[in-house]
Amino acid sequence: MPRTALRRRRLGVAVLTALTLGAAAAAPAAQAQDEEPTDLITNGDFASGTSGWWTTANLTGAVADGEWCVDVPGGTANAWDAIVGQDGLPLVTGESYELRFTARASSAVSVRALVQRPVDPWPTAVEEFPVLSSEAQDFSYAFTASADWTDAQLAFQIGRHAEPWQFCLSEVQLLTGAEPPVYEPDTGPRVRVNQVGYLPDGPKRATLVTDAAGAVPWQLHDAEGTLVAQGESSPHGAEPTSGESVHVIDFSSAAATGEGFTLTADGETSYPFAIGGNPYRDLAVDAMSFYYPQRSGIAIDDAIAPGYGREAGHVDIAPNQGDGAVPCYADACDYTLDVTGGWYDAGDHGKYVVNGGISVAQLMSVYERALHAPTGDAGLLGDGTLRIPEHGDGVPDVLDEARWEMEFLLSMQVPAGEELAGMAHHKIHDENWTGLPLMPADDPQPRYLQPPSTAATLNLAAAAAQAARLFAPYDAAFAAECREAAETAWAAALAHPDVYAPDTSPAGGGPYGDSDVTDEFYWAATELYLTTGAKTYEEHLLASKLHDADSFGPGAFHWGSVAALAKLDLALVPNALPGRDEIVAQVVAGADNYLELQAASPWGLSYGSNGTFDWGSNSAVLNELVVVATAFDLTGEAQYRDGVLTGLDYILGRNALGNSYVTGYGSHDSRNMHSRWYANQLDPSLPNPPAGTLAGGPNSVTGTWDPVAQRWLTGCAPQRCYIDDIGSWATNELTINWNAPLAQIANFAAEQAGSVTATPSCEVEYRINGQWPGGFNAQILVTNTGDTPLQDVSLEWALPTGQSIVHSWSVALVQEGHTVTATDVAGGLELKPGRTFTFGFIGSKDARTAVAPASVTCSAA
């Protein structure tokens, strides 16, 4: 199956210079579980001074009254830049241990406490981040060893703080014979609901965890406790992805609206939720506004993103070594590039073209869908709608945000005259991994361009081609720059079709390896065809082995598998591709398969039916919903709309953990995503991720687990392989490509809140009557198909790529960006039943064949 996010991230540990303060005594052997616990620590009460302990050379201190206090310098970048430790601790596979210690600090700080092997790749048995205060506190952490180690190390990593401080330690023990730790997540009430809300005319379902064999009664109460609906559950029985026995509660017929509803069944009452209003509008804005605080190369304004203001990262101001003139790794080239800007990929400081390419494309698709889908509303995406600084420029905010990343992608292109001119460097990141937390402006690592790849080059071509058509009405020069870069990248990829990024990577960045770029060629050809209409791209599409193949498997698409993404655009964006109806049929068939899987799941979940939840599973859930949403846009059939809304329930709390995976949404939400600057779990002075941030989600692929997942999640049912902990990058990272489908689906859901209102009974026919080089003639016929006259009739549509209005007759036409509005339809008079009003215009076009818009919206009084 496709892998949704093949990244390898770990907390790197630098090689340390240690100062031995005393000879280490031999630690006693581990004892059996039924014997008295053995303390593996030597001199943990400091009765013999610091014998058995060591520190890094930058620490000095003294023992008094059984407490060891060391002075820690300020200004270090990483936690491991200052360490107190003890070596030579023997661990036995399967035995459980308890680490105990008492600690305090001269000021409130967090430190990193580890039991690990002191050799690369620094595997850990336990990793904790205690927050210290001026009062001594007792700490205790239990863990089970997963390997035999004769040389384990206890380390208190106490660096990375800006100001000098004092660390005091006492009563340190590592005891054998501990009770094995058991992770019991807070799953909340056994009635699992969408904790945000349901649409009045949409599906309203919940999942009840219960061992009851027969149906049980349920009640729906409003915020005042009034009973508004009731019924009986539908037993499902044992469900393997959750490891639980469940029932389904369907309360879709409930007509009440408001806030604070609860469902009660089997003695349990759900978290509260809303019915009605527009529960997804704020989520749509937040999911897109997530990208502004992810920006590199710009200071984040706290007035725009309250609580998230910070200094600009990687702008050549110390300690940053900056992105203004970045060389190639290992002297692979003799030039440097200014790659300032773009989005930080995830919780680290790297920037990756393949992940950036799909992320910016999906964000731009939020806007492109609004132009072409029948329920799309580009007005919701206009200038001033997001929390970004570019207000007042007349450009839709979502495109302004996309441009920040698009300009970075353009900067990654190999300059003309170089050996691989036109190709794109695969990524740029630090020489070594940095620790948590670390603000972008404080990153001291050297930065390097990694070698170009065909995959990155085609990502650049696809994203730039899409940008070219969407920015054309707003910034013709930037659109032309994007188109030129896209065509240059396409030519470079054809000349170098097999330059692959490896599956391994130098320290400091994830690999994003991909040795099959057939799908990237197909995607790039699609976007270039939709933008230019050129025959060469059409021919590539029609000849591709992917064109007629089923592209809609588990997860639909991701950064390493983009054929389905191409087909969604071919189906939705107006174009004249021969056989386009077959692509539409493929999209609808893919959506039908997802709906079939969803209907069989008591969680309303189309993903994971094979028992595997991959890294970033939440993005796979959402990308499948993007396909279902597109099927609704293409067919107008309500089953697809309802399928999207049902699938969103899982993300927002109707799941085995009773958890909303979006920060700031629901009663029990993810808040401790893996991030170097949204690190409140480690440093209370730092924030949690902003509202609208998606967690990666359950990951049942144990070979990709981090130490936190390995410690707590062994034996988990697939849906339960998740922990809201900042150390669990395998289940709880945030990334730009995971938030992108959340933005798409949240915007779709927000638009559906108003999509079933009464519409005027008018029928519109849009005819293209003639074409010539550079121009065409269009005629629009508006017919009143109802029984009453229509007043103040107006029309709105999005002009397809490359078209604009020259002049019109019998109507007033105004073009703003891509959107055309027609007023004074019927001469400003009422349009009587059965009557047709006709108007027309002359349009300009590029060299392609002019096509009609996907839909025309008619409104009237």
Residue in 221, 349, 668, 674 annotated catalytic: 674
Contacts of residue 28, Cβ cutoff 8 Å, sequence gap at least 6: 38, 39, 40
Whether residue 21 contacts residue 443, with contact meaning beta carbons closer than 8 Å, is answered with no
Which of 442, 724, 725, 751 does the annotation list as catalytic?
724
> What angle (nearest 5°) sits at the alpha carbon of residue 437, between those of residues 429 and 141?
125
Per the DSSP assignment, residues forming a β-bridge with 285 are none
Residues 6+ apart with CB under 8 A from 814: 820, 821, 823
Contact 223, 217 (CB under 8 A): no
Return the DSSP state at 294: G
Round to whole Å and give the CA distance between 179 and 144. 9
- Interatomic CA distance for residues 592 and 571, integer angstroms: 16
Rounded to 10 degrees, the C-alpha dihedral 413/415/418/421 comes to: 50
Which residue has 């655009």 as its token pair? Answer: 569
The SS3 call for residue 708 is: helix
d(CA 642, CA 637): 9
Query: Which residues contact residue 820 at a Cβ distance below 8 angstroms, ignoring those fewer than 6 apart?
Result: 796, 797, 798, 799, 805, 813, 814
| Rounded CA separation 560/245 (Å) | 35
Q: Compute CA distances 464 → 288, 411, 417, 467, 573, whole Å.
A: 20, 12, 21, 5, 16
127, 345, 348, 751: which one is catalytic? 348
Using the CB atoms, write b or e for 679-701: b if 16+ within 10 Å: bbbbbeebbbbbbbbbbbbbbbe
Nearest-10 crossing angle of helices 518-532, 476-495: 140
Residues contacting 471, CB < 8 A, separation 6+: 395, 399, 403, 478, 479, 482
Identity at 44, one-letter amino acid code? G
The reply to whether 733 belongs to the active site is yes
Catalytic residue among 733, 751, 796, 818: 733
Listing from the earlier edge strand, what are the strands of the sheet with 775-784? Answer: 762-772, 775-784, 836-844, 804-809
CA separation for the pair 551, 306 (Å, rounded): 42
Which secondary-structure segment (H or E) carries 236? strand 234-239
Query: How many residues belong to the chain?
Result: 861
Q: At 132, which amino acid appears?
A: L
- Residue among 622, 616, 624, 365 nearest 510 (CA): 616
What's the one-letter identity of residue 82?
A
Respond yes or no: is residue 724 known to be catalytic.
yes
Q: Nearest-CA neighbor of 525 among 495, 560, 561, 567?
A: 567
* Residue 504 DSSP label: S
Output the 3-class SS for 399-444: HHHHHHHHHHHHHCECCCCCCCCCCEECEEEECCCCCCCCCHHHCC
d(CA 122, CA 127): 12
Residues 185, 182: Cα–Cα separation, whole Å: 10
Spatial contact of 624 and 647, defined as CB atoms under 8 Å apart: yes
Task: Provide the annotated active-site residues.
Answer: 348, 674, 724, 733
